[in-house]
Amino acid sequence: MFFLSLIKHTLRLPPHLLNLPLDQAIKGELETLFLDKVIANLGLCVSVYDIRNIDGGFIFPGDGASTFTVNFRLIMFRPFVGEVLSGEVEESDAKGLRLSLGFFKDITLPAHLLPNPSKFGEDGKWTWDFNGTELPIEKEDEIRFKVNSIRYPPIPVEQEKDAKPFAPMVITASIDFDGLGPISCVYANVTTNTSNEHLFSLEGESFGFFDGVTLSKACKC
């Protein structure tokens, strides 16, 4: 989910920060500049990890501020294709679902990547119809999903008035595989035998023990 990226940047340090020790001032400037912003093809910047090198300190003519060339590492959030993540449902409509990870909310789950016999109910919830058992996807469910693709759409030049706010990084997710989907649904598909009972007790969480449910693993979840 997280990577380190090494970046070199020419940073202008405003004069009002001259009283601070240099590395603190530079770190503060870098944080204002990069934190919580998306860099194309690198991902969402989460944090400044460390500063490797500070060079320069020249003052250009006509300018009151000094300019430094800084080498530093940023922690970037950029999941790879095929990574399994878990997040919550934020919005659900006829075109699919939108999931969120708390700090990142632009994860779309389009309708065609939901497991096959799913339908959209009138109350706004998607329900997965598995062999007659209905498994609804509720709003507070924690959902395991697999990353299908990541796109960085270009900044639009104009937007209509009521358009959704521009999302610079969009992750497309899919739950059409074994072991994915709302956590409650995943556990409903495990064949029950004594070793699994052992597993549930080891986990220490209290799932209703699905008595008599023997959905085989061969059925695609």
Partner 1 sequence: MILRLQTNAGTLTNFEVLDFLRSRGASTDSTRVIANVAPSEFQVYDYLVQSAARNQTRESIDEFLTSWVKFDPAKAEKLNLINIKPSPAIEIDSIVENCEQRMGNEDEALVKMIIEMLPAPGKPEGTNEDPTEVVADQEAMEAVLPPSTKPRGTNEEETVETVGDQDSVQTLSFSTVTIYLYVV
Pick one of 12, 16, 37, 151: the residue that binds partner 1 (CB under 8 A). 37
* CA–CA dist 13, 176 (Å, integer): 50
Site string for partner 1, 114-143 (x = CB under 8 A): ------------------------------
Q: Which stretch binds partner 1 (CB under 8 A): 59-67, 109-117, 130-138, 177-185?
A: 177-185
Contacts of 20 (CB under 8 A, 6+ apart): 28
Q: Which stretch binds partner 1 (CB under 8 A): 2-10, 15-23, 59-67, 117-125?
A: 2-10
39 binds partner 1 (CB under 8 A): yes
Contact 102, 77 (CB under 8 A): no
105 binds partner 1 (CB under 8 A): yes
Q: What angle do CA 84, 89, 91 make, to 5 degrees?
A: 135
Contact set with partner 1 (CB under 8 A): 1-10, 31, 33-42, 44, 46-47, 49-50, 71, 73, 75, 77, 80-86, 101-103, 105, 144, 146, 152, 155, 165-169, 177-180, 186-187, 189-190, 195-196, 199, 202-203, 217, 221
